[in-house]
Amino acid sequence: MFVADFANGLVVFNLPLTATSAPAFTIAGGGTAGVAFDAAGNLYVSNVFARTIAVYASPISATSTPSKTIGPITGASLPGFLVFDSAGNLYVADFGNSQVEIFHPPFVGGPQAPAITMTGVPGTPVGMAFDLQGDLFVSGYTGVVVTAYRRPFVGGANTAVATMALPTGGGGIGRDTANDLIVGQADGTLALIGPPFATGVTPFTVIGQTFLGGNPLDPAVEALNSATDASGNIWVPFAGDGVLAPPPPAGGANQIGIAEFNPPFNGSNVSLIGLFQTGLGLPFSIAFGK
């Protein structure tokens, strides 16, 4: 399991995982926010400060170096979370500019502009996922919404096909095997939204703060589609010590780490392994690969 840790860099764990798991190795860095694998097994890692995406060829080890680096990205501010569509196009959620930047393969290294920049994405986008029909869903942190877009995507403003409100500020977004959207929230809960997706649809259940002690997290709970394992379990990184988070509960530690939830998701789920934390600083997103 590959974790984009904003404080520590690319943190890699061997499977299976337990509550006391420690990293197999870490490729040190700062500002690491997004991780995603392409169909060929290459790993893409974003750096919000450098405005770049480093590409690592599989298999990845402690001594791996990027085979290429996309960027600095022209017009980007804080390019973070990553996702691929079925055609191999790379999507980057830029929460600094409230836009989504799209790159078409074959990818090349060096400074460059995106092929398409979707502007005016509401609510400071921090997470993205595609549903089974290929619509793009973007979670907005400050806008407290999930917005859906349908191809073809164009440069500039794109018309939303659905806008769904959240109970509290949105974080990362993912999809389970039933095509439900799983959206992290700023209070440490997970909101589940089921199809058919349309404006006005609200979450059908919320997985509560089963281990966070009420300590909200910032900037996101990130549950990308690639963090759903082969058994349909979701792996969720929590980053609980940010500008919107109050002090930790009395006697408690900052609530950062990774938890696992097993289906079926019904609002009473409890993390199978609690919250494992060793080697993590501010985990933002997860991908499974080699």
pLDDT tens, N- to C-terminus, the chain (290 residues): 999 999 899 999 998 888 889 999 999 998 999 999 999 999 999 999 999 999 999 999 999 999 999 999 999 999 999 999 999 999 999 989 999 999 999 999 999 999 999 999 987 888 899 999 999 999 877 778 899 999 999 999 999 999 998 887 667 888 888 888 888 877 677 888 999 999 999 999 888 765 544 333 333 333 333 367 778 888 888 775 443 344 444 334 456 788 888 888 888 888 777 778 889 888 888 888 88
Q: What is the pLDDT of residue 1?
A: 92
Q: CA–CA separation, 199 vs 202, rounded Å?
A: 9
- Find all residues with CB under 8 Å of 145, minimum gap 6, and list them: 122, 123, 139, 163, 164, 165, 166, 170
Q: How far apart, in whole angstroms, are the C-alpha atoms of residue 269 and residue 66?
A: 38
**Going from the N-terminus, what domains does the chain have, and what CATH number goes with each?**
2-287 (2.120.10.30)
pLDDT for residue 130? 92
Task: Phi first, then psi: give them for residue 81, nearest 5 degrees.
Answer: -80, 145
**Sequence-ordered list of residues with C-beta below 8 angstroms from that of 53, at least 6 positions apart, any chain:** 34, 44, 45, 46, 47, 69, 70, 71, 73, 79, 82, 90, 92
The pLDDT of residue 11: 97
Distance (Å, rounded) from C-alpha 170 to C-alpha 193? 12
Length of the chain: 290
Cis peptide before 152 (omega within 30 of 0): yes
Q: CB within 8 A of 122, min separation 6: which ones?
A: 98, 140, 143, 145, 147, 163
Looking at 4-121, list the stretches that DSSP marks H as alpha helix, in order from N- to C-terminal side: none
Joined tokens for residue 191: 């909101």
Q: What is the pLDDT of residue 209?
A: 62
Sign of the C-alpha dihedral computed for residues 109, 120, 221 and 261 taken in this order: negative
What's residue 228's pLDDT? 73
Parallel/antiparallel/unpaired status of strands 90-94 and 99-103: antiparallel
